[in-house]
Amino acid sequence: VRVVATIPEVRQFRRTRGGSLGLVPTMGYLHRGHRSLVERARAENDAVAASLFVNPLQFGPQEDLANYPRDFERDRSTLEEAGCDLLFAPTPAELYPPGFQAVVELPKVAARLEGERRPGHFRGVATVVLKLLNIVGPTRAYFGEKDAQQLQVIRTLVRDLDVPTQVVGCPIVREPDGLALSSRNVYLNEKERGAAPVLHRALRAAEALYRGGERSAEALRAAMRATLEAEPLAQTDYVAVTDPETFDELESIGGPAQLVLAARLGKARLIDALRLP
């Protein structure tokens, strides 16, 4: 994998490598979830680029920017093994030089849930993703369905601003006990790690009701809430049963529905998602 830190080097790579290019944007500390995105990109494109950037713009003042886990050498070799051709690892000053000021105005889908709990977060995500797409010029860009609302924000952004990249959503990679892989799982102590699959269990409880014929969204939300509340180490942030396009809360489930939830376990704030049917 070729490692570059500047925008001109990325543009140069794009100019000299013809054919299709897949981009996998990440904040590093890569795990099998990221790896599955790179492998998908590898299978669908002539070349694959990944970006590694812990984006200060998407962290709130009380959030974990300074402590966000990092291991550049391990990430580099993970990408090498996964068949990645280019790793773009810019400094904050490369993406946000003095005078930087333009940011993306968000679509409505960003307003609730993560958008409400993390003011400025989606504006930072949308701005950096738009920059990365403009810098790299990929044919396709790969994002995980774990960050379901983020994925929909990006789909809307790319559609509304005519970005010539195809957005590809990828399935959530989980531990054997159901916990969705996340760089933030390293914040969990042993007890919290043992309790963390409760997020997935809550989603599964709602899914089981749905499969049994329940179509009241409130019944599904209640099942998720009850499952989370039964775990003393978890503090529920939100549970939601939403329209997958708008992320508006549903009352009754007539078509597809997106289940999302967020909970705190100790220092970690974890999110998870499940799509119905």
Catalytic residues: 34
Residue with tokens 């403009």: 134
Residues 6+ apart with CB under 8 A from 57: 96, 103, 120, 123, 124, 127, 128
Q: Which of residues 2-41 bind ligand AMP (CB under 6 A)?
A: 26-27, 33-34, 36-37
Residues that bind ligand AMP (rule: CB under 6 A) add up to a total of: 17
Residues 6+ apart with CB under 8 A from 99: none
Does residue 183 belong to the site contacting ligand AMP (CB under 6 A)? yes
Q: Which of residues 197-216 bind ligand AMP (CB under 6 A)?
A: none
Does residue 173 belong to the site contacting ligand AMP (CB under 6 A)? yes
How many whole angstroms separate alpha carbon 203 and alpha carbon 247?
Answer: 16
Handedness of CA 131, 144, 181, 40 (dihedral sign): negative
How many whole angstroms separate alpha carbon 41 and alpha carbon 84?
Answer: 9
**Candidate segments 6-14, 69-77, 176-184, 257-265, binder of ligand AMP by CB under 6 A:** 176-184
Q: Between 85 and 147, whose beta carbon lies closer to ligand AMP?
A: 147
Q: Which of residues 83-112 bind ligand AMP (CB under 6 A)?
A: none
Measured torsion, CA atoms of residues 83, 167, 72, 65, in degrees rounded to the nearest 10? -170
Q: How far is the CB of 24 from ligand AMP (least distance, A)?
A: 7
Does residue 147 belong to the site contacting ligand AMP (CB under 6 A)? yes
**Candidate segments 5-13, 174-182, 211-219, 257-265, binder of ligand AMP by CB under 6 A:** 174-182
Measured CA angle at 113 (ends 157, 213), to 5 deg = 100
Binding residues (CB under 6 A) for ligand AMP: these are 26-27, 33-34, 36-37, 143-144, 146-147, 170, 172-173, 180-183
